[in-house]
Every structure is written in structure tokens, then in C-alpha cells.
């Protein structure tokens, strides 16, 4: 999603791994599907603000692990002295 670009370069903790999601039907019917996901995580505090879609859900963004870089130390500790 375009909103994710402004979050690139930030440090965030992995909130949890995503193994599967429920996909809502686009027409609002009760028919839903379960989609399996691999190598995908949710990051703490990096949620959609809903501005582009005029939405107030504050959904998590799905981050592929290959897009992320593991860093040492706690979040917020940039190692600067």
C-alpha cells in the first residue's frame, strides 16, 4: 500500500507472525475465505491511518520478511554515542 512508504526506514518490533488471514468478500456477503501466508509479519505501532480510503479501522500492514532488516538492540536504541 502506498501508505507504507512513509514508514520505511523506521525501527519497529515484530508484533506477531501471520500464518493465515480471513479475506472478507468484496460484496459484503457472508462468504469468506481463509488465505495462508508465509514469511509475513505485523509490526508494532505501524498501522494504516485510513486517510486514503476514509476508513477508521486502523488495520495492520502486512510486511514481508524479505523487506525488513534485522537490527541489534532494543527498538529506539540507534547505537549513537
**Tens-place pLDDT, residues 17-43:** 999 998 877 776 676 789 999 999 999
Assess if residue 33 is contained within a domain. Answer: yes
pLDDT tens by residue, 58-75: 889 999 999 999 987 665
Q: Which residues pair with 22 in a beta bridge?
A: 34
Q: 7: domain range?
A: 2-67
Q: How many domains does the chain have?
A: 1
User: 15-27 burial string, b = 16+ CB within 10 Å, else e?
Assistant: eeebeeeeeeeee
Q: What is the pTM of this model?
A: 0.74
pLDDT-derived band at 3, boundaries 50, 70, 90? confident
Q: Is residue 34 part of a domain?
A: yes
Amino acid at each position: 500500500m502506498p501508505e507504507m512508504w512513509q514508514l520505511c526506514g523506521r525501527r519497529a518490533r515484530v508484533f506477531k507472525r501471520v500464518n493465515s488471514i480471513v479475506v472478507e468478500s468484496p460484496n459484503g456477503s457472508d462468504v469468506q475465505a481463509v488465505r495462508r501466508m508465509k514469511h509475513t509479519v505485523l509490526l508494532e505501532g505501524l498501522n494504516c491511518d485510513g486517510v486514503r480510503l476514509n476508513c477508521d479501522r486502523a488495520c495492520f500492514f502486512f510486511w514481508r520478511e524479505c523487506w525488513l532488516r534485522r537490527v541489534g538492540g532494543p527498538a529506539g536504541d540507534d547505537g549513537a554515542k
